[in-house]
Amino acid sequence: MPDAFDVDAMITRFRERAAAVKRRGIPPVEGSERRQIIRQMQLDFQDFAMIGDATGSIEDGILTLRLDLRSPGDAGGTGSGGGTGSAGSAGTGSDDGGPGPTT
């Protein structure tokens, strides 16, 4: 891995990937295949959004990502650390940040 690795740029790419999943349309399929595609979109969004909300650093050649998974009501917790701010809502499929409709 080159010394010029940019952790912030990587995190930004994950934010962009989460946004792309959110914008992506659902192909014209029905039944179990449609449910499978929607589920995968939800997981993709959740994974990309969580990494996009992380803060990262490289120390002694080790990449460390820190992600606050506490809810805003928890003592000292701020919930998501910025970015997309919706990784925890990825399973709903409504306008709360999850991808597309779930019908």
Per-residue pLDDT of the chain (103 residues; tens, 9 = 90+): 455 889 999 999 999 999 999 999 998 999 999 999 999 999 999 999 999 999 999 999 999 999 999 888 776 655 544 444 444 444 434 344 455 544 4
* 65 in a structural domain: yes
Note the residue count of the chain: 103
* 21 in a structural domain: yes
* 1 in a structural domain: no
Give dist(CA 79, CA 77) in Å, integer. Answer: 6
**Domain limits for position 50:** 7-89
* 50 in a structural domain: yes
Q: Are 81 and 55 in contact (CB under 8 A)?
A: yes
This prediction's pTM: 0.65
Strands (E), 1-103: 55-59, 62-66
Q: Are 80 and 92 in contact (CB under 8 A)?
A: no
* 98 in a structural domain: no
* 102 in a structural domain: no
Number of structural domains the chain divides into: 1
